[in-house]
Structure formats: C-alpha cells, structure tokens
Amino acid sequence: MKRPSVHHLLLFTLCVYHMFTGNIHINNVMAFDLNTITFDQGYTPLFSDFNIDRSQDDTRVRLLLNRQSGCGIISTDYYNYGFFSAKIKLPMEKTPGIVVAFYTSNVDMFPKTHDELDVEFLGNARGWTFQTNVYGNGSTTRGREERYRLWFDPSKEFHRYSILWTRNKIIFYVDEIPIREVMRDAGMGGDYPSKPMSSYATVWDASTWATGGGRHKVNYCFEPFTSELQDLVLQGCPVDPIDATSTNCLDAIDELEASEFATITPRQRQAKKWFREKYMYYSYCYDRRRYPSPLPECLLVSSEEELFKTNGRLKNPQQFQQYWHSPGESQRQPEMTAAY
C-alpha cells in the first residue's frame, strides 16, 4: 500500500546517480523511513531528572554527566518485540571512563530472569568504541559481547543507532548498516530475549569498569559531558510486562517483521561484511578460551574468523582503522564512499 512519493523518487534518482558515480553515502541514500516521536510521547526520566535537558519542542533531549551524577531515561511502555532507535551524538573530548548506553531491558520487572539488548559506548583516550550484547532470562554468565570501532567520530555528528528485536532475530544497526544479526536458534533456549522490555538511555561514570579497569578516570574538570538524542523511534507492541498475553500483539508484530529494517538487503549485507571485517575487534563467537564450542547462534564467517586469535581478539590490531579524536583539526575520517 505504499505509493511512490516524491521522497521515494528522489531516493531512486539518488541511488541511480550513485550507482554510476560509485559514490555511496549510505546515510543519505538509504535512510529508513521512520516515524519519530517526541520525548514525552515515549519516554520519561529514570533517574537524576536535573541532568536531563529537553528542548522546547521536546524532540531533543540532552543527558548530562557531571560530578553529581549521570542520568537516564526509560520508555513509558514495555514492548513485546520492537524497534528501538535514536540519533545520538556523544560527548566530545576527554571522555575516558564515560559510558553512554542505549539498551532494552526488563530487569526492573524480572530481576533474576531479565532480558537485555545493549549498545554501549565506552569513552577511552583515543575516542569512542562500542559494544553490543544480548542476554535472555538472566543469562548473565553467558556474555555475548562484540566490540567495535567506528568509521566516524560519534561526538562530531548525529548517527542513528537502532535495535530490532523480533520473534526470530535481533539486528543492531548503526545508521542503516546492520552491524550484527542474531538469528534465534533453538539451542539458545531462554537466552533469546522473550519477555517485554522497555527502552533506556543512560550516561554514567564507569571509571572503575570501562577503561582498563579504572586506569582512566572521568576527569570532571571537563564537566558536564553532554550526550544528545533526537529523532526517537519506538515501534512495536506496548504491553503489560507481567501479563503480556492480555494484549493482542499479532498485528503489531506482523507490521514490525514486515518493516524495511527487518529485512537485510543484499547491499546492506555487503555493508555488514565491510563493517565487521574492518571495525569489529572482539567477538565472543571467536573466543575459544571462553567458549570452547561456540554458542549455538554463532554463525562463523571464515573471512571474519581469519582475523581473530583463539581468544576472540584481533591477530593484527595495528592494521585496524579508527577515527581519532583530533581536537581543533579537521577530522581524518576515512571516506565511506564505495568502501563496500
């Protein structure tokens, strides 16, 4: 029932143009068509309200970390499967020890058997890295971390970060690039998240945890550290977390699973391969010391596997690319054009 709009025609024209010039800016050309909401339409403060700064029109929210506190927001509803997404700009400069997390969880409802999907940005001396993780039914002893660098400086501009969670797969996106896909495998059992979750964004001082076990402490001479969120998207079936069956979610789930972001196109698959081979620097799937046999959902990719040692870390970290914080200078960011 989608009519070709001016927007789509323009996209098409751009795509054709870019096909011929080989000049692919995925952010502009493949942007998802999303319904964004205001803060109030989907979220509420979680803690340290005084550090949450909302724009007048309520479409943007700034999360501050200062020596008093970090802060956090939470969606007002729990969702029985969903698409959770925001454009985020991270604090600039002097960010070691800071963690900015965008995630889904139900730990407040199910403290012993919670589910969780994480995107966590870790500030370190060279800039930001990030990790994704998956927990189901309290599987905290089986971490499923992957860690990555980025091809841009996430403190310089907004990028969209998204978590898709359906009955049979989980996809993490950076912009429109599906950086990680977890297909539900029967062997996962309860480790696959299956209870309603809410969406969170938090910023906190992880001095003792994030960066080399506390080697780099947050330096409050540079406070406040500001993360900005905008173009929020919450899609899925809002439910009562305890009695999820009280709501008929089938239509909403069908709609979710039919959305463009629930299917990875061949071109996105290329981009995924490009990203993972260039920017992923740890994966639990290749960590044989931790998991002598890979966890059931791991689909080993030989071109990735070649890059990793048996401890899941890179054989050759030097050849690895990352943007660097370069205050004052223009950024030496690898051109994304036709890179994949």
Q: How far is the CB of 192 from ligand NAG (least distance, A)?
A: 8
Name which of 189 and 334 has its Cβ closer to ligand NAG.
189
Q: Is residue 333 close enough to count as binding ligand NAG by CB under 6 A?
A: no
Q: From CA 178, how far away is CA 112, in angstroms rounded?
A: 30
Strand order in the sheet with 198-205: 43-47, 71-75, 198-205, 98-105, 116-124, 127-135, 146-148, 280-287, 311-313
Name which of 190 and 214 has its Cβ closer to ligand NAG.
190
Q: How far is the CB of 117 from ligand NAG (least distance, A)?
A: 16
Q: Is residue 219 close enough to count as binding ligand NAG by CB under 6 A?
A: no
Name which of 116 and 175 has its Cβ closer to ligand NAG.
116
Q: From CA 175, how far away is CA 150, in angstroms rounded?
A: 11
Amino acid at the residue 70: G
Question: According to CB under 6 A, which residues from 95 to 134 bind ligand NAG?
Answer: 113
Among positions 140, 167, 189, 212, the unique one binding ligand NAG when judged by CB under 6 A: 189
Q: Please provide the DSSP assignment of 134-176 as one string.
A: EE-TT-TTS---EEE--SS-TTTS-EEEEEEE-SSEEEEEETT
SS3 state of residue 209: coil
What are the residue numbers of the active site? 116, 120
Q: From CA 181, how far away is CA 275, in angstroms rounded?
A: 13
Q: Is residue 59 close enough to count as binding ligand NAG by CB under 6 A?
A: no
140 exposed, middle or buried (CB, 10 Å; 0-12, 13-18, 19+)? exposed
Q: Is residue 190 close enough to count as binding ligand NAG by CB under 6 A?
A: yes
**Cα torsion for 161, 335, 147, 53, to the nearest 10°?**
-40
Name which of 45 and 241 has its Cβ closer to ligand NAG.
241
Number of residues that bind ligand NAG (CB under 6 A): 4
Among positions 95, 132, 133, 137, the unique one binding ligand NAG when judged by CB under 6 A: 137
Q: From CA 327, how far away is CA 97, in angstroms rounded?
A: 18
Q: How far is the CB of 172 from ligand NAG (least distance, A)?
A: 23
Name which of 165 and 286 has its Cβ closer to ligand NAG.
165
Q: From CA 121, how far away is CA 90, in angstroms rounded?
A: 9
Q: How far is the CB of 190 from ligand NAG (least distance, A)?
A: 2
Q: Is residue 142 close enough to count as binding ligand NAG by CB under 6 A?
A: no
Name which of 105 and 137 has its Cβ closer to ligand NAG.
137
Name which of 190 and 296 has its Cβ closer to ligand NAG.
190
Which of 1, 102, 68 shows the shortest CA–CA distance to 218?
68
Q: Is residue 187 close enough to count as binding ligand NAG by CB under 6 A?
A: no
Q: How far is the CB of 114 from ligand NAG (least distance, A)?
A: 10
Name the one residue in this structure whose structure tokens are 């506390």: 214
Q: From CA 187, how far away is CA 207, in angstroms rounded?
A: 36
Residue pair 63/226 in contact (Cβ under 8 Å)? The answer is: yes
Q: How far is the CB of 102 from ligand NAG (least distance, A)?
A: 25
Q: From CA 15, how far away is CA 30, in angstroms rounded?
A: 8
Q: How far is the CB of 248 from ligand NAG (least distance, A)?
A: 22
Q: Which residue is nearest to ligand NAG (CB)?
A: 190
Query: Which residues contact ligand NAG by CB under 6 A?
Result: 113, 137, 189-190
